[in-house]
Amino acid sequence: MLDFSLNIAGSEWMIIIFVALILILGTGKLPGAAKKLGKVVNEYNKAKNEIQDQMKEVSEQTPTISGPVETEREKLETIAKSIGVKVDDKTDEELQKIISSKMGQKKIDDVKSGQKKIDDVKKD
């Protein structure tokens, strides 16, 4: 077969694209298109910087644990505070449910039903 591949380097592609833009947009519309493209790139960079700043703020908020916790309640309160849960007037069970839902853990019933499904598949 005949090989019609073009051996064009990166800078040559830039020239080809620039010429194509001039042909498509014309010399009158090219500055306006470049201005709009500059605004889009500027907005993208602003949004990217805002997200990076938010990620830095979140990553800097690490919980400080001064030492080992003595009771289960202290452990629950420490974990709840680290994920942003208010611990006032909540029982241990309520805190456990909130923490497990925030941490994405499955409930024991879900694990048991999942094991049952696995056992059923193995039987087949």
| 29-60: pLDDT as tens digits | 888 888 998 999 999 999 999 999 988 887 77
Q: How far is CA 13 from CA 6, 9, 33, 41, in A?
A: 11, 7, 19, 21
Is 4 inside a domain boundary? no
Is 22 inside a domain boundary? yes
Is 33 inside a domain boundary? yes
Domain count, the chain: 2
| Domain extent at residue 36 | 9-60
Q: Which of 35, 60, 85 is the last residue of a domain?
A: 60
Is 67 inside a domain boundary? no
Chain mean pLDDT for the chain: 77
Instruction: Provide the whole-model pTM.
Output: 0.38
Region 53-71 average pLDDT: 73
Is 2 inside a domain boundary? no
Q: How far is CA 108 from CA 3, 105, 114, in A?
A: 63, 9, 10
As a whole number of angstroms, the distance between CA 55 and CA 59 comes to: 6
As a whole number of angstroms, the distance between CA 20 and CA 25 comes to: 8
Residue 68 has pLDDT above 80, yes or no: no
80/115 same-domain check = yes
